[in-house]
Amino acid sequence: RRRRRRRRRSRILLLSLLRSQQPETTEVPLSITEAMAVCKDDVEMLKPRTDKRENRQIVLKNSLQVLLITDTETDKCAAAMDVGVGYFSDPDGLEGLAHFLEHMLFYASEKYPLENSYSKYISEHGGSTKAFTDSENTNFHFDVNTDSFEEALDRFAQFFIKPLMSADATMREIKAVDSENKKNLLTDYWRMSQLQSHISMESHPYHKFGTGNCDTLEVRPKAKGVDTRQELLKFYVENYSANLMHLVVYSKESLDKIQSLVEDKFQEIRNSGRSFPSFPGQPCSSEHLQILVRAVPIKEGNKLTIVWPITPEIHYYKEGPCRMGYRIGC
């Protein structure tokens, strides 16, 4: 369960499918509010000619957008949930809260109260779990043997319905976040990423320290009389809304069967109608540009990195801006 910033996403197919544009809040027409889900037949899915899998896009009545994929040849099933909030949305004075919440959701839920039972179930049934917190999104995903998928999916769904975040678990997981940060300090990638964030405008969320540690999540808040757990619960309620989420489910079952599972297990996710967070302005002013920074790495070696800010690619995703990056880097 690691936070990742501006790095290659997991090679799992599901994640690449999730990285589409963030749409405006989806409103389900009143004439079909009684339906469990609405199929988005007007969306054209572009696939390679060699891809024989079938897919379907639906929107649940709580405005959760879902991509269903059926693959009769797979021996594993998988799911991924992408939530449209990340560490850019951390409250002032509580840096790392979004990442901390990512950790806490793994612990337990009202339906499955035994701590760490989700991760244990997945590992005992031939699967794996991962999650990461990025600047503007938080992603959770897993894979598991096909015969264990339905229960795994139910356990997964409870993250977003009724998670338990006990006081004891809160204190333990703050230490886990702190340990993760200490490990990152020994990695050049993380050190350089944080250095790059530091050389930006303090008023912009890009400047934030997204991982968090004991100092930002316990010591400083406590000194100010802030209850971190209460802020954690508040952050969850305010930001984990169905209309800000995108779900992908991959299985060997038929699309109708997958849709039935999704409708049954995810329709209870609350939709607060919250808009996607926006972060206007540029992270760097003229004083942060055209500068040279020298840093001593942990590992021996020399490396040159050239960085310049561009307009967020989310506005130009149809033009495929990542292709230019690949061509320049090749």
Active-site residues, by number, are 102, 173
- Edge to edge, what strands does the sheet with 54-60 contain? 37-39, 54-60, 65-70, 245-251, 76-83, 138-145, 128-133
Return the number of other C-beta atoms located less than 10 Å from residue 54's C-beta: 14
- Smallest CA-to-CA distance from 69 within 85, 58, 83 is with 58
Helices and strands (DSSP H and E) totals, the chain: 11, 9
- Smallest CA-to-CA distance from 86 within 27, 133, 35 is with 133
- Smallest CA-to-CA distance from 82 within 36, 146, 14 is with 14
Length of the chain as a residue count: 330
Residues 6+ apart with CB under 8 A from 137: 82, 83, 84, 85, 86
Q: For residue 58, what is the enclosing H or E element?
A: strand 54-60
Instruction: Say if CB 1 and CB 103 are below 8 A apart.
Output: yes
- Smallest CA-to-CA distance from 81 within 241, 288, 313 is with 241
Residues 6+ apart with CB under 8 A from 254: 70
Residues 6+ apart with CB under 8 A from 257: 251
Instruction: Say if CB 96 and CB 3 are below 8 A apart.
Output: no
Distance of CA 155 to the CA centre of its chain: 17
